[in-house]
Structure formats: C-alpha cells, structure tokens
Structure 1
Amino acid sequence: MGAIGAFGRMTGAVLALVRNDALLPAELDERYPPSVRALARALRIFAGAGARQGRPGERLARSLEGMGPVAIKLGQVLSTRGDFFGREFAEDLSRLKDRLPAFPTAIARHEVEMALGRTIESLFAEFGEPLAAASLAQAHEARLLDGRKVAVKVLRPGIERRVADDAESLALAARLIDRWIPPARRLEPVAFADTVIRAITLELDLRLEAAGADELREVMAKDGYMAAPRIVWDGVGKRALTMEWARGWPLSDPAALDQPGLDRQVTADNLIRAFLSQALDHGVFHADLHEGNLFVAAPASLTAVDFGIIGRIGPAERRYLAEILWGFLNRDYEAVARTHFDAGYVPARHSVQAFAQALRAVGEAVFGRPASEVPMSRVLLQLFEITALYEMRLRPELVLLQKTMMTVEGVARRIQPDHDIWKAADPVVRRWIARELAPPARIRRFAEEAGQALRNLARLIETPPAPTVVTPPEPSSAGRAITWFALGAALAGVAFLLAAWWR
C-alpha cells in the first residue's frame, strides 16, 4: 500500500495545483511557448469554479499549504526570491513562513507536558497563545519561573505521519523523474529527494535541534555577524523546545525594515557574512535562513531561530567554495573553472578554457551593476544552461549549502534591494584565503597529511597476520628497522618538497 498511497498523494498534489490554476497560471499565458500554452489551456478545463480567486502566488500558497510540510518548505524557499519570480509573487507565498493555521493552546500545553515529563506550572509562570505557526511546529510566548521571557516550540500533533507520507511521495516522484525524464538525471533527483527527506526527518526531534542551536550559538559568537538565543535545557524534549526570547522584530513582519535607526546595508552585509563565516570557517551553518527564522534590531543586529535544519560541509568542499568565490571576486574565471575541474564538478573531458569563457558570460553581466538592475531569473536560466552544456551533476552533499546560499541572497536583497553580495562576501572570503592558503597553512596541512600517511604505513608494516593465539607477537627487529627506514625516507622527502616549495 505504501507505493500506491504515495502515488495517490502525488496525483492529488498535481490535481490540487490544476484545480487552483497554480501549475501553469493563466496570467502567464503570453510567456509560454505555444506547446506549453496549449497544455495550460487544456489543464484549465479541470480547474475548479473558484480557481482564479486571488493572484498566482496566493493560489500556489493555498495549494502548497494543503500538500504538507515538504511542499510548504519549497514554498518558503520560493518566497525569498522576489528577484526571480517577482516581488508580488514572493510576498503572496510569504505566509507559508510563519502564518499557517495554529493548533489550540490546550493541545500545545499537553504536548509540552508529555515531552518534558512535568507540568507546565513546574517550569513556566506564564504560557501564552501561539505567536507563529509553520509547517512542522508552532511557537508560544512564555515566561519561566525565574522571570525570563522565552519562546516554546511545539511540534504539531501527528506531524510525524504527515512527514512520512510526504517522504514516500517525494521519493516516488524522484524515481519517476529519474526513470522517465533523462535530461533531469544530472540533477540526481533520487539523491536530492533523499537529502531533503533526511533533513526534514531530523527536524522531528527537537532535542537534536537544541543541540544544533547551542553549537551554532557558540560559532556565531566568534564573529558577531549573527546571534542565537540561549537554550533552556530544562524545557527541551523530543517534541518541545524552549529558548530565550529573540531580540528584535521578526523579519517576516513588513514593519521590521522600517524600525527607526536600522541600517539596511549593514544588516544585509551581516546576513551574507554570517552564513559564509559559518560555512567556510566552521563547516556548519544554519540551513533555513528565511525571513520567518530571522529577527532584526537596530542598528544592524540579526538573531536566528529555528535550527531544525543544519548543514555541514567538509574541509575539501570548504576550500573549493572559497576558491570559487575568490575567483569570482577577482574576476579570474579561469581559476574558477579550474577549481570546478579539480573538484570533479565538471567532467575532465571538457575544456577548462571553454568553461571559463561560459562563466565570463555570466559574471561580466553581473559585476559593477546594482542588484536591482540584474535580471536574476535570466542569470539563473543561463547558469542552468551552462551546467547542462558541461554535464554538471547535482552534488547531494552540497544541496543544503546551495539552497541556503540562494535563500540568504534573496533575503539580503529584500533587506537592501541594491545589495552587492560580492562586496559583502569579500572580507570573509579574503580572511579565509589568507589563513588557509598562506604558506604556513599549506605547510601545516601538508605535514598533517604526511603524518597520517606515515601512521598508516607504520600500521601496515607492524600489523602481524591474524594470530592463532590470543596475544599477538611483538613486531620483529627487522619490522621495526623497516618502519624506521620508511619514516626517515618519508621525512626526508617532506623536507625536500618543502625546500623546493620555498624556493
């Protein structure tokens, strides 16, 4: 029944889009090629009587809201990119961030008590009505017995079942796309779906979110571009989480950007720098930075909440990311292209110089122009065409990074329409390059890798065959001599390479 049920839910989702005229809206008919326009008009026969009620974004939001948490997450990402889809369309989707229907406070109190194993009164002096409601949970204002103001996050009742159903439908859709749409295979739909499903599934244990929030609070404090509220561990359970009150106004409130004394330019810069410093310097980042999860206070203070999705990237990916950004900052397209080849993002059979030429076509159209004058939807389309031409495949380990980069750029441009993402990124990337690619760092990394290789070699030489007795024999003197000879030769080689490198 699992596959049948997933297919039914997937079909129902498509029908909901058709009924609301949200799949291929009539308002965009003039922009469709003839074949797509004919399909759109045919599908519109099945639209409901009230299908045209509201704008396209409102109809899409209504459809996604009824589909479940995964669809709502997609809508949240789309809502951050008014520069791609139009400001009105993005604003119509913005209700999906934190203005969904809430469940009753009485149920929330019961859920908290069950999660914490104690009564509400034993921890909270006050427990208020819902402040915000999203796809998986809602937040309540409360006050601890010691007087501290806090926010209590509570999972929706039965949300685990809905997420499991969504996961089945998404996995089935990915397999069908992979099977029947060959051009989409380079986007790795199955791996993409697995990444999304795992990220959302981890959100269902708020103890893990509390740990991630605590870790990122420490990381954020090192740079000061962004902050995170302190976790109240006595108020943490699998389905409930308590943290101190976030300072400022929720960025999803249109009035937040009009508060007196707010420096929009610095605020937007801080958002970009906070994300990049988390990813590059620490390899861990808040991977759900839409407006509903950000609070802003004058003059340029940002506080993040909702740490259910946390991204992590390894040292190699961090180096590639920094080198790509550095290359773009210096308009060194051949260096950017070379990094893509070194990382394996572009197959080796292609030409580095030709790929650099394609990147130049994108970069030069963007640099030196105000962000408000850059048609980002056209840039995105051109990038997609380039990735197809050079057979670039989606990298599952970078899905959350790319999704977050897209989100924070969109939010920064909403804060400051003419925001220059490259200028904002420069000090963080420059600092990383100076620290990690300077001669001392190269020597340290080379020494660490050589040391690890030597340890592996020593273990290989000294490890005896599987013994027939319980106690393994000591290494022979010959084995020790070989080991020390290998170590000496390796160290001599390291010294030679370092001397050659310094020359």
Structure 2
Amino acid sequence: MSGLGAFGRLMGAGWVLVRNDALLPRELELLYPSGVLTLSKGLRLFAGRGARVGRPGERLARSLERLGPVAIKLGQLLSTRADLFGAPFAEDLSRLKDRLDPFPTAAARTAVENSLGQPIEALFASFGEPVAAASLAQAHEAALLDGRRVAVKVLRPGIARRITEDAEVLALAARLIERWAPPARRLEPRAFAATVIRATELELDLRLEAAGADELGEVMAKDGYMRAPAVVWEGVGKRVLTMEWARGTPLSDSGALDQPDLDRKALADNLIRAFLAQALDHGVFHADLHEGNLFVAAPAQLTAVDFGIIGRLGAPERRYLAEILWGFLQRDYERVARVHFEAGYVPATHSVSAFAQALRAVGEPVFGRAASQVAMSRVLAQLFEITALFDMRLRPELVLLQKTMMTVESVARRIDPDHDIWAAAEPVVRRWVARELSPASQVRRFASEAQAALRNLARMAEPPLAPAEPAIVAVRPVSRLRWLALGIALGALASGSAFLLSLLFR
C-alpha cells in the first residue's frame, strides 16, 4: 500500500468512528474538558444512523470489527477494563474476544487440507462448525481418528493482506501522533506501533504458535498454577493448529464464574501467580491472557489457549522487576526508587528521595486494599503525571509485559472483586528473591558477569580477521511504576489510555 493509500485508510477509520459516534461518544460529555466537549459536538454533526443505535461500547465494537484485526485487538484490550470504563462498556466490547462472525466451514476445511497436504479425513474422524471466532482465526471442534477431542484453529482467508494494510496505517498514525502531539512523544508511538505490528505478524504462522504452546506447557507444568492443552503436531501447519480440547468453561461465557464449587479467590490468585512465575522464573509468558483465552474449572483450575503472542524477559529485566515488586511488598519505597535509578529507569538528574516520595504517594493509599476499593482511573491519572514529572519514557521491548500486566490484573478483578494482588504475588516474588538474591546466587552472578567481561576483553585484544560488524548495543529495559505500584499501570502507558484518563479526570 502506498503512503497515500495508508493515509486514505486512516481517514476512513476516523470516518467510521465518527459516523458511529464512537470516537467521542455523547454519553460521556459530562467528563470532557471544554475543548474536547466542543470537538465532540462538532464531530457529531457528521454522525450517521449508526450513532443512534446501541450503547457506546456496542457502537465502538461495530466500528472496530469493521476496521480490521489490529483495531479489534485494541477493543479486546479495552474490554478487560470494566473498572475503568464501566461494566456495560466492557461487556459490549467482549464479543471481540471470540464471538466475531465466522467464515464458512468449507473454506476452513480447504485451508486445513492445503496446509497439512492431505485430505481432512486422513487425520480427523469429524470436523465440526466453528465454536469461536476471533480477529485472526477461528476454532473448530473436531475428533482425531483415535477418538481424542481436539480444537482446530484455522487462520482467516486473506488475513495476511489485512495485517499488512493495518500495519501501514498504524505506522502512519504513530508518525502523525509523534509529530503533532508532543505530550504523547514519551510514549514512543512509532516504536510502540512497530512492536505491535511485529507481534501480530508472528501470529500468522501457526507453527510458531504451536512451538510457543509446547514451551509454555512445559513451563506451566512446573508450578501448576495454569495448564496448556497438548499440541497435536501432526495437525500443525502454517495456517492450521490442532490442540487437545481445553478443560472447563471459557471465562468469556457469562456463567463461567457461577460453576458449583468454584473458588474465586484461589482462581484469581492462580492467575496472578501463573503470570509472575512464567515471567520471573522462566522469562517467557503468555502475552494474551484475556477472558476469551482462559478456561476455568472447579475448584480453581485455569487452562490457557491461543499462544500466538509470547513475551520474553532477559535476566536483567527479571531481576529488576522482582526487586521492585519485592520492595513494594515490603513498602520500602527508598529501595524501589534506588532500583529504578540503578537500572536507568529514571534519569540520574532526578532525586532518589523525591522519586521515593512519589512512589509512597501512589502505594500507601492502595496497599492491602481490595481491588473493589481502588478507583483505578484516578490512580492511572496520578501515575501518568508522576512518570512525566520524572521523565520516564515507554520502552518498546516491555510493551508485551505491560499489556499483559494490565490484562491479568483486570481479569483477576473480574474473577474476585475483592482480590488482593499483593497477597497473591507475595509467594512467587518471595521465592524468586530467596533463590536469586541469596549470597550464594549473588556470588555466582558476579562470577558469571566477570567471566563475560574477561571474554569480551580477550576478544577486543584479538586482531580483526575481517571488517568489523556493526556493534549490537544491549539496551537496558526501563520499567514503569504501573503494575509495580498496582499491577496495571504499566499496561496503560503502553496503550496510551493513561494519557486519555489524565485529560478526562484531571
């Protein structure tokens, strides 16, 4: 697509939102500052019939579905934040998770046969209608020849072309935001867009998803907080993924949490601990843990599906994350501040003590309180102001971590409105600190770093045998206050929603 074509699609996307009164909906007028209110009323002059049909969430869901896969993923993220936008709004968007219009089963069968290179009857005793349909693919219930019940995921026809078009539009939008919206520049919109685009492109090869599912299945089995269905490798191709049927009920179903003998507190705890154990202990985590990708069964069993987006953390990121979480658990704000400065998270021009004071202002009012007692919208606005005050910028390499933190915290809130995220996190973080920050582990880490430094010095002393390659500079990741202070704010910076909230709630 040419630059002109991308601009046309971007304008078309804006027009769809305006026509459906989904950009600045009239129902939120009381929240808008005066300038935004004037803009909202002006845009409404161009609204069409769709602007009069349904609630704001329903109108936005229709608009995002029409705009394509990347827009739908934004809707999925917003749908997890009932605490910010209200339960009706989140519920209206929830259909974007797994209840989109499916494509014909005949087309799915053809795609399976072409991808696997054999007739569908050679592997499946039965192949049913779609049971779930999302932005990139849909799932069919099937049975293998040996009788095992499986789920077969099939990519949508023409999805690669749609992703390419969406990627160019998203990249253009990021450039325009960076140029014309100075307050948003520290959110690194172009780098953020590139990260989202790359993650989405990787989802188009289901062989990679199968490998991620297999790897995370092994990781999950070590702790037992969450499980993954086994991959059926003979049913895996570039456009097809076959996995054993997930146990339980999709969390996106309205009655999922009403199952007999379901322990909501333990279920929410398991979700938080599963994510933290994956990220801290293993450096790899499921990065799309919304309700449509989680199945629940009594008493507190969680099964994850859809491993198209996998996040990874290196050893430094894991150490900084664990130390900051541990500092918050101990309410040692000075220690948390020092770790931020040591890691380069906050520029050295600022004061450690002043930053610790800012952390205390965020942490103390919410520490130990039930999620239902915390007004997250105002907390996010405060966090955005603090990160701006201390010149903290978004780090694209942590976008998936940030997004997942935001989603996991919100899903845990929905499972158990009185959930205490700190109590849930404490055992996993304590275990990591005891293992990795003990004197013996510190000695091993220092010895390893010294050996690496000596090897680098030795290589530098050797005469080059060929023209030197450009150096690859390791960039230290910069965290945020967000989930480190509450479990969610990191994700809001990545999506930019905190900026919007700071306007709406100031």
Give the equivalent residue in structure 2 for 1:315: 315
Give the equivalent residue in structure 2 for 1:31: 31
1:174-323 aligned within 5 A: 174-323=174-323
Q: Is residue 89 of structure 2 the alignment partner of residue 92 of structure 1?
A: no
- Contact 2:204/2:239 (8 A) holds in 1: yes
1:54-69 aligned within 5 A: 54-69=54-69
Give the equivalent residue in structure 2 for 1:381: 381
Q: Deviations over 1:271-304 (max 9, x none)?
A: 0000000000011000000000000000000000
Distance 2:330 2:207 in 1: 43
1:360-371 aligned within 5 A: 360-371=360-371
Shift of 1:92: 0.8
1:338-487 aligned within 5 A: 338-461=338-461, 463=462, 466=465
Distance 1:328 1:122 in 2: 56
Q: Is residue 22 of structure 2 the alignment partner of residue 22 of structure 1?
A: yes
Q: Deviations over 1:412-458 (max 9, x none)?
A: 00000111111100000010011111101000011111222233344
TM-score, L = length of structure 2 = 0.91
Distance 2:460 2:135 in 1: 52
Shift of 1:460: 4.5
Distance 1:143 1:103 in 2: 20
Distance 2:336 2:389 in 1: 17
Secondary structure of residue in 2 paired with 1:138: strand
TM-score, L = length of structure 1 = 0.91
Q: Which shifted more, 148-157 or 55-64?
A: 55-64
Q: Which amino acid counterpart does residue 148 of structure 1 have in structure 2?
A: R
Q: Which shifted more, 49-58 or 431-440?
A: 49-58
Q: Which amino acid counterpart does residue 231 of structure 1 have in structure 2?
A: V
Shift of 1:465: 6.5
Q: Which shifted more, 134-143 or 42-51?
A: 42-51
Number of residue-to-residue matches in the alignment: 466
Give the equivalent residue in structure 2 for 1:484: none
Secondary structure of residue in 2 paired with 1:418: coil
Q: Deviations over 1:42-81 (max 9, x none)?
A: 1100000231211111111111111110010011011111
Give the equivalent residue in structure 1 for 2:41: 41
CA distance 1:418–1:114, shift in 2 (3 Å): same
Secondary structure of residue in 2 paired with 1:241: strand
Distance 2:455 2:364 in 1: 48
Give the equivalent residue in structure 1 for 2:150: 150
Q: Which shifted more, 164-173 or 328-337?
A: 328-337
Q: Deviations over 1:135-156 (max 9, x none)?
A: 0000000000011000000000
Q: Deviations over 1:101-141 (max 9, x none)?
A: 00010000000000100110000000000000000000000
Secondary structure of residue in 1 paired with 2:52: coil
Q: Which amino acid counterpart does residue 147 of structure 2 have in structure 1?
A: G
Give the CA RMSD over aligned residues.
1.1
Identity %: 78
Q: Structure 1 unaligned runs (5+)?
A: 468-503
Distance 1:94 1:329 in 2: 33
Distance 2:306 2:48 in 1: 37
Distance 2:300 2:433 in 1: 26
Secondary structure of residue in 1 paired with 2:45: helix
Distance 2:387 2:460 in 1: 43
Give the equivalent residue in structure 1 for 2:122: 122
Shift of 1:464: 5.3
Q: Deviations over 1:190-248 (max 9, x none)?
A: 00000000000000000000000000000000000000000000000000000001010
Q: Deviations over 1:19-49 (max 9, x none)?
A: 1111111111111111111111111000002
1:99-118 aligned within 5 A: 99-118=99-118
Larger Rg: 1
Give the equivalent residue in structure 2 for 1:9: 9
Secondary structure of residue in 2 paired with 1:419: coil
- Contact 2:207/2:238 (8 A) holds in 1: yes
Distance 1:198 1:458 in 2: 36
Q: Deviations over 1:248-276 (max 9, x none)?
A: 00000011100111100000000000000
- Contact 2:251/2:291 (8 A) holds in 1: yes
Shift of 1:338: 1.4
- Contact 2:288/2:309 (8 A) holds in 1: yes
- Contact 2:232/2:243 (8 A) holds in 1: yes
Distance 2:408 2:457 in 1: 45
CA distance 1:147–1:186, shift in 2 (3 Å): same
Distance 1:69 1:385 in 2: 32
Secondary structure of residue in 2 paired with 1:231: coil
Shift of 1:407: 0.1
Distance 2:177 2:33 in 1: 22
Distance 2:29 2:100 in 1: 30
CA distance 1:40–1:465, shift in 2 (3 Å): closer
- Contact 2:50/2:59 (8 A) holds in 1: no
Give the equivalent residue in structure 1 for 2:326: 326
Secondary structure of residue in 2 paired with 1:254: coil
CA distance 1:141–1:24, shift in 2 (3 Å): same
- Contact 2:371/2:419 (8 A) holds in 1: yes
Shift of 1:368: 2.9
Q: Deviations over 1:303-362 (max 9, x none)?
A: 000000000011101111111111111111111111111221211111111111111111
Q: Which amino acid counterpart does residue 15 of structure 1 have in structure 2?
A: W
Q: Which shifted more, 357-366 or 405-414?
A: 357-366
Q: Is residue 77 of structure 2 the alignment partner of residue 77 of structure 1?
A: yes
Q: Structure 2 unaligned runs (5+)?
A: 467-506
Distance 1:294 1:198 in 2: 24
Distance 2:396 2:463 in 1: 40
Shift of 1:466: 4.8
Secondary structure of residue in 1 paired with 2:321: helix
- Contact 2:368/2:420 (8 A) holds in 1: no
Distance 1:449 1:139 in 2: 47
Secondary structure of residue in 2 paired with 1:51: helix
Q: Which shifted more, 449-458 or 38-47?
A: 449-458
Give the equivalent residue in structure 2 for 1:53: 53
Q: Which amino acid counterpart does residue 323 of structure 1 have in structure 2?
A: E
Distance 1:460 1:14 in 2: 54
Q: Which amino acid counterpart does residue 150 of structure 2 have in structure 1?
A: V
